[in-house]
Amino acid sequence: MKQLTHMAMLAGLLSLPLHLLHSQAVIIHVTSGCSHSPPTDSTVFGVDHYAFPPSPEAEEVLQELLEVVGINPNTFQLKLSEQAENAMATIEGGQRYILYSESFFDSLRRSTQNKWAIYSILAHEIGHHTLGHNFNVTDPHDRIAMELAADEYSATILRMMCAKREEALAAINQLDESRSHPYYPPIIARRTQIDISWRARDDSYRLNGGDPCGDRSPLEFGDGYGQKRNRARNVEGHIKDGELIINFDANPIPGVQDYRSYLVISRNSDISPKPESIEWFTDPRKVGQGRQLRWRFADDGYSRDLVWKREELGIAVFRPRQVPYRVKWHGYVPGATALLLGGVKLAIWDDLRGTSRNIYNTYMTYRNPDDLIYQGDNPSRIEVRQEANQKYWWAQFYRNAGIICLVGGAFLLTERIIVDRRGRKGHLYVGQNGVGIRLNIGR
């Protein structure tokens, strides 16, 4: 009888779906925690979460992150809970958990096309735990500070793992800007926090070395310089033994062979390289991938932290005729002079035209060629007509010259103003293997 019961039980069990038999779901009653972004409904807290083992991919990301931070892998348990909506850090029964929604991760993978979004979210949750945040805190100010601290943590870890700045921002950029919550800072503030923290770690590597991702970092000034006319892209710099080494690509324009490359320094910068310390390792008149410039700043008496100001440095590559010109006040003189000359010539034209008309009227009034109406040397009637014609010809001449001067002057002035506006972003330094000219833009 006992055996029969056993068999019946076994048969009953076998008919059940297998995964339930082996289900490793645990029930975690979540009272409080920190979600990556504000949860949409209230079923996240104060309820039982059915927490499943994480997907191998998510577990792998977590282990990778913990390895970088140097934390014992057993410190947290990563669990899959669709009730978590996005991802959250929580402590229940003395155990630290990170709960995440696999469908949220899936949609993030699809929308960002970037693996770093998930890294940054898990790093954010690790941050909450590592920084010892108390999830029972209800003061909104403290909660906001906790979120920003976790974002800072996440950005720092991502930089340590060689994610680019945009990659560190990938997850936050997916959040709905219109959703607000008293515990969460606005998205723009979180974005700023991540941006600043990523840069801070980057700059620290720049100055102190030890970058695990190789010693390079994007320069941004060069990308913006001259806007669309600037062909330089992917400008990256690093410092090594008293040298600033800048690598960049320069996009070709079909049919154009000749270019001019420049080291660009912000107008606000105090640094001023000597042309003889600048050396192009690739031809500055050519474009293509993998261009390089080196500046031996130590020769100019600068230290590495004086030189390393990423926003103040860059590369610009222009077509020769599109280089922003040196702009000074006398740059406006030719245009203004031409305008003035044009005005004077038009005044002369008007005067001559009047005189010519008067003489011609005289000629028309006195029909008899023998009339003694002419004064002075008494010219003949024919001579009077010739004089009127001559004056009229000169009047035409001054009118045309005046128009040319006015149009030319207006063109020169407009061009100066455009060049000035375009060029006021920085200095260009030309250094072509020791033979260089320094151009001051916008001074």
* Strands laid side by side in the 87-92 sheet: 34-35, 87-92, 95-100, 77-80
Which of the ranges 141-149, 193-201, 333-341, 435-443 carries the binding residues for Zn ion, by CB under 5 A? Answer: 141-149
Q: How many residues bind Zn ion (CB under 5 A)?
A: 3
**Contact (Cβ atoms closer than 8 angstroms) between residue 189 and residue 169:** no
Cβ proximity to Zn ion, 134 vs 208, nearer residue: 134
Cβ proximity to Zn ion, 85 vs 147, nearer residue: 147
**Contact (Cβ atoms closer than 8 angstroms) between residue 239 and residue 306:** no
338 to 377, contacts with Zn ion by CB under 5 A? none
Residue 87 found at the interface with Zn ion (CB under 5 A): no
Residue 91 found at the interface with Zn ion (CB under 5 A): no
Residue 34 found at the interface with Zn ion (CB under 5 A): yes
Which of the ranges 140-148, 238-246, 315-323, 355-363 carries the binding residues for Zn ion, by CB under 5 A? Answer: 140-148
Instruction: Give the integer Cα–Cα distance in Å for 376 and 321.
Output: 60
60 to 79, contacts with Zn ion by CB under 5 A? none
Please give the residue whose beta carbon sits closest to Zn ion in the complex.
34
Which of the ranges 54-62, 102-110, 129-137, 144-152 carries the binding residues for Zn ion, by CB under 5 A? Answer: 144-152
Residue 155 found at the interface with Zn ion (CB under 5 A): no
Residue 44 found at the interface with Zn ion (CB under 5 A): no
Residue 208 CA: distances (Å) to CA of 197, 215, 228, 278, 302: 16, 10, 34, 23, 16
Cβ proximity to Zn ion, 39 vs 334, nearer residue: 39
Residue 28 found at the interface with Zn ion (CB under 5 A): no
Residue 313 found at the interface with Zn ion (CB under 5 A): no
Strand partners, 78: 98
How many CB atoms are located within 10 Å of the residue 16 CB?
Answer: 9
Which of the ranges 30-38, 75-83, 287-295, 341-349 carries the binding residues for Zn ion, by CB under 5 A? Answer: 30-38
Residue 375 CA: distances (Å) to CA of 64, 383, 389: 109, 13, 19
Q: Which residue has the tokens 């207006």?
A: 410
Q: Which residue has the tokens 């390089």?
A: 292
Who contacts 244 (Cβ-Cβ below 8 Å, separation ≥6)? Answer: 237, 238, 294, 295, 297, 307, 308, 313
* Nearest of 19, 16, 77 to residue 49 by alpha carbon: 77
Instruction: Give the integer Cα–Cα distance in Å for 269 and 424.
Output: 13
Cβ proximity to Zn ion, 39 vs 242, nearer residue: 39
How many CB atoms are located within 10 Å of the residue 116 CB?
Answer: 21
Which of the ranges 32-40, 165-173, 187-195, 203-211 carries the binding residues for Zn ion, by CB under 5 A? Answer: 32-40
Residues 176-195, one symbol each (x = binds Zn ion by CB under 5 A, - = not), give --------------------
101 φ, ψ (degrees, to nearest 5): -105, 120
Cβ proximity to Zn ion, 157 vs 316, nearer residue: 157
**Contact (Cβ atoms closer than 8 angstroms) between residue 206 and residue 238:** yes
Cβ proximity to Zn ion, 100 vs 308, nearer residue: 100
Residue 121 found at the interface with Zn ion (CB under 5 A): no
Instruction: Give the integer Cα–Cα distance in Å for 282 and 259.
Output: 12
Which of the ranges 147-155, 167-175, 235-243, 288-296 carries the binding residues for Zn ion, by CB under 5 A? Answer: 147-155
Residues 270-309, one symbol each (x = binds Zn ion by CB under 5 A, - = not), give ----------------------------------------
Shortest Cβ 34–Zn ion spacing (Å): 4
Residue 150 found at the interface with Zn ion (CB under 5 A): yes
Contacts to Zn ion by CB under 5 A: 34, 147, 150
